[in-house]
Structure 1
Amino acid sequence: MVLSWTKVRVFRRAHKGKKLPGGDLDVEVVVPAHFRCPVTLDLMKDPVTLSTGITYDRESIEKWIETGNQTCPVTNQVLNSFDTIPNHAIRRMIQDWCVEHKSYGVERIPTPRIPVAPYQVSETCNKIITATRVGDDNKCQELVGKIKVWGKQSERNKRCVVDNGTGAVLAAAFDSFSSNSIEKNVAVLEEILGVLTWMLPLGEEGKSKLGSEASLRCMVWFLNGKDLSARQSAALLLKEMPVNAVAKTGGVAEALVKIIREPIGPTSTKASLRTIFHLVSSSVDKERIKQRFSELGLVPLLLEALVDADRGICEKAFGVLDCLCDREEGKKLAKANALTMPVTVKKILRVSNLASEFAVSLLWKLCDEKDEGILIEAIQVGTFQKLLVMLQVGCRESTKEKVTELLKLLNAYRSRADCVDSSLDLKYLKKPF
């Protein structure tokens, strides 16, 4: 079998304006068979040899092994070892061949970096432990930076770093340096934060260290800071922490609301909303926390965010609003906001089943038979029609009960309201803030 690498366009650009022998621009470059990976048949970029003596491209043979295969693809022999040895001779031959055919548009493959080995990761982790023990923040920062570089080089390096317990070591270092002066150790703490974000989810040991009072206080400090990268890293880590420990951390509500008010990006917003949802739905002090979030103006912030939000943000924002409206303060704030009804009704059946269920629950809490104004507004924005459709398409039993109750309640006011099309355009709605 012969594989040809046609680079007509590249060749034309390289020889634009030149007279070519024979005038034939359709040039075929034949890649030698021993330069091609037996698995993908592509030119090898990082040739490595297995214990069976067969050479493959590193990426393809690692994927083969990671999917559970324990044999050599060519010989079908059971592999006694999964170790791969770089084949430098073949790699140099391929590079020389690429240089020879450069005029035909063939680019030289770069010399690959040698992947990090488990013993290197373990050795670096031990050095981090030592530097942490003596409080050497500069040395620790240097070592964490080394791990950061490994992670940037390849996904394989990331897996190797994570699989060798680095997360727990870095969490312990973060806890130790945050127990002292945060301002003094801000550089190393910020470096650790950034690396830990691609090690999620952390194991129990790592969570235990990051869930300490000092670590959580430090994360809140970063959430309130000016560095956008550090703020996002802190938000991503905070959502993984034990909810009751987070609830006891001073200033956490203010810091999370700041992320919603001054969004960095969808990732940090979703992470913060997830943390808020856990705090208002499952923490032991959730009633006090709900009141605090209401006082901080979270209700109008969420309603404004819902207008153009994606699925992830919609689901979490509706979940939080539903919890906040368990209290009278939350209900009053939601009822007083001009966005509440049109946004909530508009999102039903347009985002996801979960978002629709949260939205129905929110309406169920807001629609009070004693409040004629809110009922008429609900009808005017098309709530009755949307709820009928929900019954037709189907929903969970608990949601169906709420829908049925709402329909009965709203039906009594249908004749007293001038119904309008449910596809209300929100951009013409005057916002109260």
Structure 2
Amino acid sequence: MVRARDDLCINVPTFFTCPISLDLMKSPVSLCTGITYDRSSIQRWLDAGNNTCPATMQLLKTKDFVPNRTLQSLIQIWSDSLRHSTILSPDQVLLTVSQLETHSLRSASLTKLLLFATDSHHNKLFLSKLEPLLNQLIRFLHNVDGGLIARANIQFLEQVVLLLALILDGVEDRDGLRNSLLKGNKQSLDSLLLVLQRGGCDSRFASSRVLQFIAADAESKILVAEKEGVVEELLKSAAPENDPALVEAALASLIAISAPKRNKLKLVSLGAVRALSRLLAEVELGAAAVEKVLKLVEAASSTREGRKEICEDAACVAAVLSKVLKVSSVATEHAVTTLWSLCYLFRDRKALEAVTQANGLTKILLLMQSNCTPQVRQMCTDLLKIFRVNSKSCLTCYDTKTTHIMPF
């Protein structure tokens, strides 16, 4: 958004604007969905008799809203800065970074750096090269003040995580940063978990991104997943009623930690299959998000416990099947791999019945005639063998209008 000031045009950060009015928010408040609006705009929406979140169109469990004080503070500081200067020179940035070590200047300095980072990609890259800044952010996450930062000032901690997430992509020594975040007694995970539990939508998004960044190898994946509460909070963040960007970030983090078998088992035990089934069935997700959901379902299907959960939920099997040929080639491959695992590799009767009832054989035949990959085509061939073996029980449900393309 561009805001006029005298003879200047000022770019207003997107997350400072109300999704309804598209104006700079004066009194930001958050609904139960985690989306923030200007108080006057959302009040008019609710007073008009609406019972959905305007941005996501999710039904509201409650029409109550709470002030987003972190965002209010950022908007106020940003607005105040316009009366002086919004442009920081390299020397001013370095001075601001050094002021993070002074307790009385810490919060204001961090806010300046956060606003500086959101102004341009160039600014993010500049900050990502400042080792003193990275070291200071890590110290904050490690609660060097005896834990007081995390417990007494969640808003400050949210800003730390937001800034770190903004500059992650430009960090050159990525392994070094990961090791620093996980050194000692892993207190950075405590801080990231606290933000997931108590932060706003933007900071939870940022925390999910940092967790995804940390989970780069088998050891770190296990460390993140075994941190009590992290997987649970990521699953909550991926709930259908949340902001789509937060949902996708949480899904990306869950994928990042899901490779080790013990982590897959933990995901299944915490109800991931039911949560993923809801996402596929209830929400209009973008293609990238659907691919992530299906990748996680595929990961669950590689474990006995996961297959049991999937096969006992016919709606989940049907939801997976419904995405074949409808989203993307990546989504189709994840979906077919899951069906192949359930129906061909492990011959689960409930899964076969669910696929049959959902007219899955039609989808499989159509997919074989499409421009699918050799791997997908082979899995489809394997599935057709299973259906041929079970033809007496399954073909009665098959759409006879397409029997002319059956390969047997």
- Using the size of structure 2 for normalisation, the TM-score is 0.67
- Tell whether the 8 Å contact from 2:138 to 2:180 is kept in structure 1 after alignment: yes
Aligned counterpart for 1:175 among listed residues 124, 127, 141? 141
Aligned counterpart for 2:362 among listed residues 385, 388, 396? 385
* CA distance in 2 between partners of 1:178 and 1:268 (Å): 29
2:391 is equivalent to residue 407 of structure 1? no
* CA distance in 2 between partners of 1:371 and 1:159 (Å): 51
Aligned counterpart for 1:305 among listed residues 261, 266, 279? 279
Relative to 1, partners in 2 of residues 1:111 and 1:327: Cα closer, same or farther, differing over 3 Å?
A: closer
Aligned counterpart for 2:305 among listed residues 321, 329, 344? 329
* CA distance in 1 between partners of 2:293 and 2:119 (Å): 36
* CA distance in 2 between partners of 1:373 and 1:175 (Å): 47
The percent of aligned pairs where both chains have the same amino acid is: 22
Task: Please give the residue correspondences for 1:101-140 in structure 2 after superposition, counting only pairs within 5 Å.
Answer: 113=85, 115-128=87-100, 130-131=101-102, 136=103, 138-140=104-106
Unaligned runs of 5+ in 1: 1-42, 47-109, 423-433
- Tell whether the 8 Å contact from 2:239 to 2:247 is kept in structure 1 after alignment: no
Compute the displacement of 1:273 (Å): 1.3
Q: Which amino acid aligns with 1:143?
A: S
* CA distance in 2 between partners of 1:421 and 1:121 (Å): 67
- Tell whether the 8 Å contact from 1:375 to 1:413 is kept in structure 2 after alignment: no
- Tell whether the 8 Å contact from 2:340 to 2:379 is kept in structure 1 after alignment: yes
Task: Please give the residue correspondences for 1:231-310 in structure 2 after superposition, counting only pairs within 5 Å.
Answer: 231-242=204-215, 243-261=221-239, 263-281=241-259, 286-307=260-281, 308-310=284-286
Relative to 1, partners in 2 of residues 1:351 and 1:220: Cα closer, same or farther, differing over 3 Å?
A: same
Query: Which structure features the higher share of helix residues?
Result: 2
* CA distance in 2 between partners of 1:262 and 1:227 (Å): 16
The equivalent residue for 1:190 is: 158
Size of the aligned set, in residue pairs, is: 307
* CA distance in 2 between partners of 1:256 and 1:293 (Å): 10
- Tell whether the 8 Å contact from 2:362 to 2:398 is kept in structure 1 after alignment: no
Task: Please give the residue correspondences for 1:209-224 in structure 2 after superposition, counting only pairs within 5 Å.
Answer: 209-212=180-183, 213-224=186-197
CA RMSD of aligned residues (A): 3.0
- Tell whether the 8 Å contact from 1:117 to 1:160 is kept in structure 2 after alignment: no
Relative to 1, partners in 2 of residues 1:45 and 1:287: Cα closer, same or farther, differing over 3 Å?
A: closer
Q: Which has the larger radius of gyration?
A: 1
Compute the displacement of 1:143 (Å): 0.9
Unaligned runs of 5+ in 2: 1-6, 11-81, 216-220, 401-408
Q: Which amino acid aligns with 1:234?
A: S
Aligned counterpart for 2:110 among listed residues 134, 140, 144? 144
Q: Which amino acid aligns with 1:257?
A: L
Compute the displacement of 1:239 (Å): 1.3
Relative to 1, partners in 2 of residues 1:116 and 1:156: Cα closer, same or farther, differing over 3 Å?
A: farther
Deviates more, 1:331-340 or 1:220-229: 220-229
Aligned counterpart for 1:200 among listed residues 151, 157, 168? 168
Compute the displacement of 1:149 (Å): 3.1
Q: Which amino acid aligns with 1:256?
A: L
Q: Which amino acid aligns with 1:354?
A: V
- Tell whether the 8 Å contact from 2:276 to 2:297 is kept in structure 1 after alignment: yes
- Tell whether the 8 Å contact from 1:167 to 1:206 is kept in structure 2 after alignment: no
- Tell whether the 8 Å contact from 1:236 to 1:271 is kept in structure 2 after alignment: yes
- Tell whether the 8 Å contact from 1:306 to 1:313 is kept in structure 2 after alignment: no
2:200 is equivalent to residue 227 of structure 1? yes
* CA distance in 1 between partners of 2:312 and 2:139 (Å): 47
Secondary structure of the 2:380 match is helix
Compute the displacement of 1:262 (Å): 6.7
